């Protein structure tokens, strides 16, 4: 799959560094956590789908790491950096073995179908 991204030649040289490093800290945190934990949920306070994703993993007895960045009223710019990096426009963002698998609906499907256990190498 090739996602359409504005070509770097279409960015003025004066802003290229700013675009490349915009809230890079949050992106690096998520990248590191996704590589360090078999299941990572990235969410935000007050979002019911983030709660549902965590509860679904708990009900499935699946250990996971959770990172929370702000709420509907705070840290939206930082979360936007994650959306731009991943191409996924909503929260939660669920990573399995470092791969973005989607949000709550996609996670629910993986759990219900048994695919999550297969992705994690469990019987």
95-123, pLDDT tens digit by residue?
Answer: 999 999 999 999 999 999 999 999 999 87
9-31 confidence digits (pLDDT tens): 999 999 999 999 999 999 999 99
| Strand 39-43 with 65-68, pairing | parallel
Chain centroid offset of residue 49 CA = 13
User: What are the DSSP calls for 29-43, one per residue?
Assistant: HHHHHHHHSSEEEEE
Cα–Cα distance for residue pair 31/35, rounded to 1 Å: 6
| Contact present, 52 and 104 (Cβ < 8 Å) | yes
Q: What is the pTM of this model?
A: 0.94
């Amino acid at each position: 799959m090739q996602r359409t991204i504005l070509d770097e030649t279409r960015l003025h040289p004066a802003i290229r560094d700013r675009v490349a490093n915009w809230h890079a800290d949050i992106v690096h945190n998520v990248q590191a956590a996704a590589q360090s934990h078999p299941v990572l949920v990235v969410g935000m306070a007050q979002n019911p789908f983030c709660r549902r994703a965590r509860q679904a993993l708990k009900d499935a007895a699946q250990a996971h790491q959770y990172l929370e960045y702000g709420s509907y009223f705070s840290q939206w710019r930082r979360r936007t950096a994650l959306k731009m990096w991943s191409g996924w426009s909503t929260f939660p963002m669920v990573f399995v073995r470092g791969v973005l698998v989607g949000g709550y609906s996609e996670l629910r499907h993986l759990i219900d179908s048994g695919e999550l256990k297969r992705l994690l190498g469990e019987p």
